[in-house]
A = this chain, B = another copy of it.
Amino acid sequence: MASTGNGKSKRDTYRHGDLRNALIEAGLELARQGGPEAVVLRAATRQAGVVPNAAYRHFADRGALLHAVSQAAMAHVAHTMEAEQAALPPAEDPAAGARARFRAVGTGYLRFAQEEPGLFRTAFHVPGDMTHAAADTAAGPGGKTPFELLGTALDGLVENGLLPEDRRPGAEFLAWSAVHGLAVLLIDGPLRGLHPTQAHDAGQHVIDMIERGI
């Protein structure tokens, strides 16, 4: 076993073989259900069929484990964003395509926040840094972090004349602020429990505001 994800049967080998990843995987599951505070060191080791202290061979402390889980969650965010872009119908012209890809960045971000609130909260739980955010561990299949995806989409807007070049600097912070703020409102603010379609509309409104105000 060791490779199979189940955590029930006790390991047959003394060595686990892939404990570090098993712990991150277990942590992800805990985070999915209960957010960052639910990723408990002892629970993760239990799930991996290992004694609590074994974790310390791979992580300095609970915080380090949580950070690794957070990075993995961030990668999931990136994945959802890329998927949203990939699902886009072929664009009529380059400009329309750039605009659609930009909006998909926000839409994917918001979709993830609603579908996986626990992971979302974990991904952005006082993340050491989400810009450089160890680009490899926090990246999606395309190799880009959520932030980088946003930057690329903004560059696309500029290239197609949809965003004046002098407004480009710092634009990611404006866009990110608005979308992330809405995400928070949706998952544990006053907009929590909004019907998915209404939430989607709210998301489009915010993205409209960004396009207008950026």
Using CB atoms and an 8 Å cutoff, list the residues of chain A in contact with chain B: 37, 124, 126-127, 129-131, 147, 170, 173-174, 176-182, 184-185, 188-191, 202, 205-206, 208-214
Contact = CB atoms under 8 A, between A and B. Distances in A.
Copies of this chain held together in the complex:
2
14 contacts: A37-B37, A130-B189, A130-B190, A131-B190, A170-B205, A174-B178, A174-B205, A177-B181, A177-B182, A177-B185, A184-B184, A211-B213, A212-B212, A213-B214
A67 to B, nearest CB: 13
Of A147, A177, A206, the most chain B CB neighbours within 10 A belong to A177
A147 B209 CA distance: 19
Interface of A is mostly: helix
B180 A184 contact: yes
Contacts of A210: 209, 213
A214 to B, nearest CB: 6
A173 B131 CA distance: 26
A183 to B, nearest CB: 8
